[in-house]
Amino acid sequence: MRPKAEKLDATDELAGVRAQFVLDDTVYLDGNSLGALPRSVPGRVEDVVRRQWGSLRIRSWDESGWWTAPERIGDRIAPLVGAAPGQIVVGDSTSVNVFKAVVGAVRLANGGPEGPGDGEGHAGRPGPGGRDEVLVDATTFPTDGYIAASAARLTGCTLRPVTPDEVPDALSERTAAVLLNHVDYLTGRLHDLPSLTSAIHAAGAVSVWDLCHSAGALPVGLDEHGVDLAVGCTYKYLNGGPGSPAYLYVRRDLQPRFDSPLPGWNSHADPFGMTPDYTPAPGALRGRVGTPDILSMLALEAALEVWDDVSIDSVRTKSLALTDFFLECVQAYVPEGAVESVTPTAHPERGSQVALRCPDAGNVMRRLIDRGVIGDFREPDVLRFGFTPLYVGFGDVERAARVLGEMF
């Protein structure tokens, strides 16, 4: 398998991007939890701290562009998820943005602040209170489920967990919002965003997609497929750093009616007017809440520079090649029956990770890490390996599978 890995690395059009990251001699396959550090970030953060904060101080809100960072960086993320500018705002955590999106979706489904119907094929929806059910991915990352339950309570809705495959049959005239993961965090399964979004719209409901495990790894097509609302983190395949701010997408035609449950001064039409009454800002800005977390936000902005001149389609092509080769190497190196893949083999159903089930998986991963292969473990028996095409090579893949085989 080594000669094949060398041949694949020699023809890898993204191989040169690897030099833009701080890496060592380990095989880093945990970018689906925390992306590697881009080399541009330390210097940028030092400038933000020493010059912008240290010297310019309060003037940096204007002179260094701090105030406009949430929407400016949102526009940098937009092409990576298939969105036109002006629809993504960066800030807060994924959990906070899921809350905004689900509550906002229920309000949109029931007419929003301006009454039922939005002129885009949803006229005739019941008025406020008419749609009283939220569907949530039953296999979702736990926090999404917790947040969806809280949002349902707040809006007087019933929460109904269903698998993504069950969504079309579960939809009804009661459905207000549907929260789904584009890629399953545990298995790496890629769900059918276009068809599920279409089914949700046909039922008169509002779609909310969690892009945490797809943004930066594969094409999403938010605008193309008419997604209503979406959220995502930036510290996985976007390499923004630990705790880097998340983002919220609000489709342009829905922005005038998007009613955020967290109206903060940063989303006010006149934030420095300090008026007691709230008037939401126009556009995606109404997704903002409080003062932006500038240090981590500008670190993210620097990290996104690695995407200059990189096509998300080429990333997807390499991602599939990497995961294909890993599965091939696992078959070659790992004793038969020692592990079982729970990640789909079909390309249309695979994200950018491979999940393997095996006995004593936690101990196996600890031993892999000791041998310089960094993945992670999820209860009760799953080894997860994330493949970030910007810096993972085919030689890394071969080595990881070979070391894994030596564990048994």
Q: E strands, 187-242, where?
A: 206-210, 229-232
Cα distance between residue 287 and residue 392, in whole Å = 34
DSSP, collapsed to helix, strand or coil, labels residue 383 as strand
Angle in degrees, CA 44, 31, 184, rounded to 5: 130
Q: Is 348 buried (19+), middle (13-18) or exposed (0-12) by CB count in 10 A?
A: exposed
Q: Are 257 and 43 within 8 A, CB to CB? A: no
Is 360 annotated in the active site? no
Taking phi over 0 as left and psi of -120 to 50 as alpha, with beta for the rest, 143 belongs to alpha
Partners of residue 386 on adjacent β-strands: 30, 353
Is 236 annotated in the active site? yes
Is 247 annotated in the active site? no
Is 99 annotated in the active site? no
Which among 161, 157, 114, 155 has a CA at the least distance from the CA of 136? 161
Q: Are 233 and 84 within 8 A, CB to CB? A: no
Amino acid in position 392: V
Q: What is the DSSP letter of 54?
A: I
The residues near 43 (Cβ < 8 Å, ≥ 6 apart) are: 302
Longest Cα pair distance anywhere in the chain, in angstroms? 69
Q: How many Cα atoms sit within 13 Å of 74 on the Cβ side? A: 27
Kindly name the residue from 21, 28, 235, 385 that is annotated as catalytic: 235
Kindly name the residue from 28, 99, 141, 247 that is annotated as catalytic: 141
Cα distance between residue 391 and residue 318, in whole Å = 11
Partners of residue 396 on adjacent β-strands: none
Is 235 annotated in the active site? yes
Cα distances (Å, whole numbers) of residue 39 to 42, 182, 242, 375, 406: 7, 29, 15, 22, 33
The residues near 249 (Cβ < 8 Å, ≥ 6 apart) are: 81, 83, 87, 88, 222, 227, 229, 230, 231, 232, 284
Kindly name the residue from 236, 251, 257, 399 that is annotated as catalytic: 236
Residues designated catalytic: 141, 210, 235-236, 384
